[in-house]
Amino acid sequence: MPGFAFYGWVSAISLGILVLPYLLVRLNKYVLKTKNPNYFKAIKWLRTLHKPLGIVFTVVALIHGIMVLGAFRLHTGWLLYISVVLTALTGGAFYRFKKKPIFMWHKFFTLASVILFLLHFFRPYAI
C-alpha cells in the first residue's frame, strides 16, 4: 500500500486539476483573450473530470489524513478537509438544485480550500 506522501501528492494534484477550469477561463478572459476552439475543448474536458475527480479528492485526502495522524487531532489538514467536504457538498447541491447562491458558496469554499491547502502545504503544524 502506498505511503501517506503518495496520497498527499495525489490530493494536491487533484486539487490543482479541480481548480484549473476556473483559472483557465479567468486567464482567457483577462489575459489571453483567445478564441481557439482547442482551448475551450480542453476546458470542457477538464469540466467533465470535475465531479468524479472531486469525489476522488475527497476520499484520497481522508486516507492521507488518517494515515498521517491516525486519529482526529486539530491540524491544518483537518481544517482543509472540512473545507473540502463543504466544497463538495455545495457543489453537489448546486448540481442538484441549480441555484446561483449555492454556486457562490461553492466558489467561496473552493477559495477557502485553496488557501487552507497552501497553509497546510507550507505550514502543516501552524495550529
Asked if the structure places residue 59 within a domain, the reply is yes
Q: Are 89 and 126 in contact (CB under 8 A)?
A: no
Task: Please write the tens of the pLDDT for every residue from 9-50.
Answer: 999 999 999 999 999 999 999 999 999 999 999 999 999 999
Look over the chain and give the mean of its residue pLDDT values, rounded to a whole number: 95
Asked if the structure places residue 46 within a domain, the reply is yes
pLDDT at 1 over 80: no
Count of structural domains within the chain: 1
Asked if the structure places residue 64 within a domain, the reply is yes
Asked if the structure places residue 17 within a domain, the reply is yes
Burial class (CB in 10 A: 0-12, 13-18, 19+), 27: middle
More confident residue, 116 or 125: 116
The C-alpha cell that represents 98 in the structure block: 441549480
Asked if the structure places residue 112 within a domain, the reply is yes
- What are φ and ψ of residue 34, in 5° steps? -85, 155
Asked if the structure places residue 127 within a domain, the reply is no
What is the domain extent for residue 69? 4-122
pTM equals: 0.92
Q: Residue 82: what pLDDT? A: 96
